Amino acid sequence: MRSRLLLLFSFLAMMLTACFAGYRTAASCLRVRRGTFVHDVVLTGELESARGDLIAVPALPQWQTTIKWLTTDGVEAKQGDKIVELDNTAFVSDLDAKRQAETQAAQELQQKEGEWAADLKEKQLDVEKKKSELEKAKLEAGLPREILAAREYEDRQTKLRRAQVEYDKSVDVLKSQRTGISSERANLDLKLLKAHRDITIAQTAIDALILRAPRDGIVVIKDIPWEGRKLQAGDAVFVGFPLAVIPEMSTLQVAASLADVDDGRVAIGMPAVVTLDGYPDMTFPGRVESISAVAQESNRQSLRRAFKVVVKLARIDAERMRPGLSARVTIRRQQTADALIAPRVALDLSGDKPSALLGNGKRKEVAVSSCNAQDCVVTNGLEEGQTLASLENETHG
C-alpha cells in the first residue's frame, strides 16, 4: 500500500513538473479550460461635458485680438468672476483719439455759440434800428398833403418806402441768420453726438474684452486644435473663437479614441467600464452612445486618425470627476458563457487551418470561433483539461 502511494505521489510530481515546465521550457501550465469567454476593447480618453456655458471672443471692431490674461484651468469660479481678459491696447489708443475728437467738437460748439450770440445780437440791433427808422418815416409821411409842399410830400413817401424795404431786409437777414445758425448747430450737435457714440462703442468694446463667468462652476480652458495644447496668455485669437467653457457636471461623459485600423470593432450600445487614471481602484459603468462617422487626425502634424467614441456614464461622481481627467475605457464586445477556451500562445492561427501545440510537442488541427488578446474559443479539436504548450517553445526548441 505504501509503495503504491509513493508511486502515485511520484507520478503527480512528474505531472506537475511537466505542467509547470511545459513542453521543454514552458514557464506555466497551459490547459484547455471551460469558462466564460470575454472579448474587450480597451480605449483611452478623457472626461468631457455634453453641455455647458461657452465663453468665446465677442464681436469686436477688429477681427483679431490677443489673450492678455487667462484664469487657471479647472478653477472653481463664481458668477461674475473674471475668466479671460483680452488685449485692449488698440482700443485704449482708439478711445483716447475719440475723446480728443469729442473735446474738440465740444470746444468748437462752445466757440460757435459765442460767435452766433454776437452775430444775432448785431442783427437784432440792426432790425431794431431799421424799425425805429421805419416808425419815424411813417410819422413824417403821415402828415397831410395839404400842409406840405408837393416835393417834400413825395420825398417823405419815398423815405417811407425805403425805410420799409430796409426794415424788411434786416428782418430777412436776421431770420436767415437764425436758420443758418440752427443748421450749423445741428451739424455740430451731430458731430458731438457721434463723438459720444464712438466713445461709448470703444468703451463697450474695452469692457467686452473682460469676459466673466455667467454662473458658478468649474472653468475648463479650451485647446488650440492645430497645436494640441491649452490656450495661454499671449495667444492670438479671433472673433467667435472658444476660450473656455463652464460645463454642466450632470452631463459628464467620456470621449475616447478608436484607431481607424480598428473600425468596426466597437458598436453603439456596447457596455463599457470606465476607470479614471487618477482613481484606478474605482470603476464606473457606461455604454457606447455614439461613434463619429469620420476618423480625424488628433492634431495637424499627426498621421494617425481615430474615430471619436462617446461613452455615456451610468453614474457620475461629482466629487472626483472633473472635465479633462484621463480615463481607460474597457468596452465589452463579446461575452460567451460555458465556452471551451484555449490559450492563444498555444495556437497557430496564421494558416488557413488553425492548429494547437499539444503538451507532448505534437500539432493538432482545431476549429476556432473567436479570439481576444489572451484566449480563443475552440469549437473542435480539443478537450477540457487537455495540456498545451507555447508556440514560442516550439520555435526555440
Domain assignments of the chain as residue spans, ordered by start: 21-41+335-396, 53-87+209-246, 89-208
Supply the pLDDT for residue 18: 47
Positive or negative, the CA dihedral 85, 86, 90, 91 is negative
Task: From 44, 161, 180, 60, select the one nearest 123 (Cα to Cα).
Answer: 180
Give the integer Cα–Cα distance in Å for 210 and 212: 6
**Phi, psi of 267, deg, nearest 5:** -130, 155
Q: Which fold has domain 53-87+209-246?
A: OB fold (Dihydrolipoamide Acetyltransferase, E2P) (2.40.50)
- For 50, which DSSP code? S
CATH number of 21-41+335-396: 2.40.420.20
Residue 389, phi-psi category: left (phi > 0), alpha (psi -120 to 50), beta (remainder): beta
Half-sphere exposure of 392 (CA within 13 A, CB side): 9
Opening angle at CA 83, ends 81 and 87, nearest 5: 125
Each of the 397 residues of the chain gets a pLDDT tens digit; together they read 455 544 444 544 444 444 544 334 444 578 999 999 998 899 999 999 999 999 999 887 778 889 999 999 989 999 999 999 998 887 777 778 888 888 888 998 889 888 889 998 998 998 999 899 889 988 888 888 888 888 888 888 899 899 899 999 999 998 998 998 899 889 988 988 988 888 887 787 778 889 999 999 999 999 887 887 899 999 999 999 999 999 998 999 999 999 888 778 899 999 999 999 999 999 999 999 999 998 887 655 566 789 999 999 999 998 889 888 899 999 998 888 999 999 999 999 988 889 999 988 899 999 998 888 899 999 999 999 999 999 887 755 5
Supply the pLDDT for residue 368: 93
Q: Are 309 and 272 in contact (CB under 8 A)?
A: no
Supply the pLDDT for residue 19: 53
Q: Are 221 and 244 in contact (CB under 8 A)?
A: yes
Give the integer Cα–Cα distance in Å for 42 and 20: 30
